[in-house]
Amino acid sequence: MLGIPLRYLFKHPLAAVDLVSDPLQVLTNIRDVYVAQQEQRRPQCNYESTAEWERCLHSHLGVPWPCQLTSEFWDVWSDVMKELEARGIHAGPESFGS
């Protein structure tokens, strides 16, 4: 257990200074690095998309398909995306990095 914090401090020597001034933040960073390393060791989860996703979603929600609100949703979605882009936010699958 002690090996993880020591490895972190060896890789990030300036963290020793931070450890004195903000030990909780350093411990949080150590934990985050550890969790990220554990997640990278897991096998990739390859998602399979389906063209029928909207019908499946409505089925799981117990609402009729085709949905009467589909066109209204896409109008609102378009407005939301335009507003985000006007603020410099480019939303999409890669928006949140890793």
Q: What is the DSSP letter of 65?
A: S
What's the pLDDT tens digit per position in 65-86?
Answer: 888 888 898 899 999 999 999 9
Q: Which of 29, 26, 4 is nearest to 17 (CA)?
A: 26
Query: Rounded CA gap, 69 and 62, in Å?
Result: 15
Kindly tell me if the per-residue pLDDT of 96 is higher than 70. no
Distance of CA 75 to the CA centre of its chain: 26
Does 6 score more than 80 pLDDT?
no
How confident is the model at residue 2, as a pLDDT?
Answer: 59
Name the token pair of 38: 């554990």
Does 89 score more than 90 pLDDT? Answer: no
Confidence check: pLDDT of 97 > 70: no
Residue range 25-64, pLDDT digits in tens: 878 888 888 888 888 888 877 778 889 998 999 999 999 9
Residue 18 has pLDDT above 80, yes or no: no
The DSSP code for 88 is T
For residues 28-51, b (16+ Cβ closer than 10 Å) or e, as one string?
Answer: ebbeebeeeeeeeeeeeeeeeeee
Query: Model pTM greater than 0.95?
Result: no
pLDDT at residue 14, rounded to an integer: 78
